A and B are shown apart, each in its own frame.
Chain A
Amino acid sequence: MTLHNGKLLALCVVTVIVLFGLQFVLPPYLTLALTRILILSVFAMGYNMLMGYTGLLSLGHAMFFAAGLYAAGLSTYYWGVTLPVAFVLGIVGAFAVSLVIGLLALRTQAVSFMIVTLMFAQAGYLMTLQFTNITGGDQGLTLPTDARSFGLFGMVVDMTSDTARFNLALLIFTVVLAVLFAITQGPLGRLFVAVRENEPRTQMLGFDTYAIKLTAFTVSGTISGTAGALYGLMFGYIGSSFAGFQNSIEALLYTLIGGPGTLLGPLLGTAVMTMLIDRLSGITTAYLIVIGVLLIVVNLWFPKGILGTIRDRWLGWLK
């Protein structure tokens, strides 16, 4: 493979190294916060694949996050499978759900697409409530102690240890970042952007745009589900709220703030937003109002987000 966009690659490498180093300087509670940020930014990176690069605005990505969360969490809760197996099952579950939903939702466009993804996700959320005897509903389920650690190459990885969690989250984040770099900076990513910029033209250049969109949709949903599986297994809790509307909106907002269609935007957006929300929820319970205001403000005056603005003004390679 030839190297292209070496600058972005270098920036990604530096970012990962800095993140790794942070655990040695940050106090424990911030390391924990950073662990959450890493996992949620994997969620947002998945979202960005579809919304940022391919231009398809989904309002239902909580459904894929939850698919990963529940597939992983329930399989370890009820069948006692080990955490790595549960993690893989979570990814497979999210893949299956996103493929099926994609096949259906991609028959629609624009506003219809948004409503269809919203409705499917809402149906998924309601199902987690409907089958409370299995899912634990709103209360959720706490994973048993023997599902909080696993053996790997003779080592025991303990999911209640902050260090283990942080480094595992960073590992998954790095793998996803590498995969997304390969996709977005190569020929496939170019097709995603081509569909976003001008779908009819892309068709007339000989591409099956439905297949391209379905690919983007499935990759996006699967990555979001990977984040969900990781979140559930790492913090040992699965609950309906992860399937709710607000979770979808947060992925949208993180992506919008960081910069849709930029590789590192979701990480930045997630970091900025989770810090902000953490601060605010200390002051007021109505921090949701900030989400509302930001959705409007960003949409009005800052649609490219932080990195998107920097890309358009100064650094063209930041994509």
Chain B
Amino acid sequence: MTLLRTKGLSRHFDGLKAVDGVDFALDPGEIRAIIGPNGAGKSTFVSLLSGRIKPSAGQVFFEDRDVTGMPAHKRVRMGIAYTFQITNIYGAMTVLENIAIAAQNRLRPHLFSRKPVSEVEIARAATKAAQEVGLGDLLYETAGTLAYGHQRLLEVAMGLALQPKLLILDEPTQGLSDSEIENFQEVVRRVAQSATVLLIEHNMDVVMALADRITVLDNGRVLAEGSPGEIVHNDAVQAAYLGAPA
């Protein structure tokens, strides 16, 4: 069974084909990297998966269910978590509160749930997610005042607190220091034990270290797909993306 599948997925912006007829499949448990030059349509593609953007054509299936018309918040409930490429957190709130909002979704699925969990449980779940990404010491800091790298980690922690089946990370290591990247790779490996990870990444070292398979996007289309070894030696990829002569 595939976890997630797309059929002819497309999104046009006034004639610009940002995503153009992509057929894509993701198996449960894998770490998949999406690479491609700037403007290839990677962010748009994962936004279509998460429901943040509506497709111009094509379909998205999650666990063999057609979720194309489903609003984003319901997809999150089904287990698709999305972290933004441009950090998007609650700047005025503390780290703990930021993650608590995410944790609350899982613990209290409806606004008027009959069995509401207590604030203590929400706080405990949020603290755990913070510790997993290494933000355990910064729980009461105001999120907007954190260093950039920490804000990126907070994004990831919010994704983790949802305990998703699929975690989509859009360029999570952008702007992180080497040691932070090390730490981040640890986090992703741990997450991957319980969730499928879809990772957009520019840093090829990270991709090579983490990915089970790689999909290459170019001009909104899938250029190639395969294991890291296959992709590195793929001529078309070399030509289009890695810049080496074919």
Contact = CB atoms under 8 A, between A and B. Distances in A.
Interface of A: 1-2, 4, 186-188, 190-191, 193-194, 197-198, 200-209, 211-212, 215
Contacts of B97: 190
Nearest to B47: A204
Nearest to B101: A194
B108 A205 contact: no
Contacts of B77: 206
Contact of B73 (A188, A190, A209): A209
A193 B104 CA distance: 14
16 contacts: A2-B119, A2-B120, A186-B119, A187-B122, A191-B111, A198-B88, A198-B89, A198-B91, A200-B52, A200-B88, A203-B72, A204-B73, A205-B73, A205-B105, A206-B77, A207-B105
Contacts of A2: 118-120
A188 B50 CA distance: 24
A201 B89 contact: yes
Interface range on chain B (Cβ under 8 Å from partner): 20 to 34
A1 B50 CA distance: 35
A205 B158 contact: yes
A157 B221 CA distance: 76
B99 to A, nearest CB: 10
A188 B111 contact: yes
A203 B101 contact: no
Interface in B86-103: 88-93, 97, 100-102
- Considering the complex of A and B, which 9 residue pairs feature the smallest CB-CB distances, nearest first? A206-B76, A206-B105, A197-B90, A194-B101, A205-B102, A2-B118, A206-B77, A201-B88, A4-B119
Interface string B49-77: 01010000000000000000001111011
A295 to B, nearest CB: 24
B116 interface: yes
Contact of B76 (A198, A205, A211): A205
A201 B84 CA distance: 9
A187 B97 CA distance: 10
Given A187-B104, A187-B116, A198-B89, 10 more contacts: A188-B111, A190-B100, A194-B101, A198-B91, A204-B50, A205-B73, A205-B105, A206-B73, A206-B105, A215-B111
A163 to B, nearest CB: 39
Nearest to A209: B73
A197 B116 contact: no
Contacts of A201: 84, 88-90
A187 B118 CA distance: 9
B82 interface: yes
Given A1-B118, A215-B111, A208 B90 contact: no
B33 to A, nearest CB: 21
A208 B71 CA distance: 9
A205, A209, A212, A215 — most chain B CB neighbours (10 Å): A205
Please indicate which of the listed interface residues B73, B77, B158 has the most CB atoms of chain A within 10 Å of its own CB: B73
A17 to B, nearest CB: 26
A207 B91 CA distance: 19
B101 to A, nearest CB: 5
A206 B74 CA distance: 6
Contacts of A203: 72-73
Contacts of B116: 187
B9 interface: no
Contacts of A198: 88-91
B31 interface: no
A206 B163 CA distance: 12
Nearest to B107: A187
A200 B52 CA distance: 9
Contacts of B105: 205-207
B162 interface: yes
B92 A204 contact: no
A193 B82 CA distance: 21
A113 to B, nearest CB: 20
Nearest to A198: B90
A4 B100 CA distance: 14
Nearest to B116: A187
B230 to A, nearest CB: 33
B88 A187 contact: no
A207 B90 contact: no
Contacts of A194: 90, 101
Contact of B162 (A4, A200, A205, A211): A205
A191 B101 CA distance: 7
A208 B73 contact: yes
Nearest to A3: B119
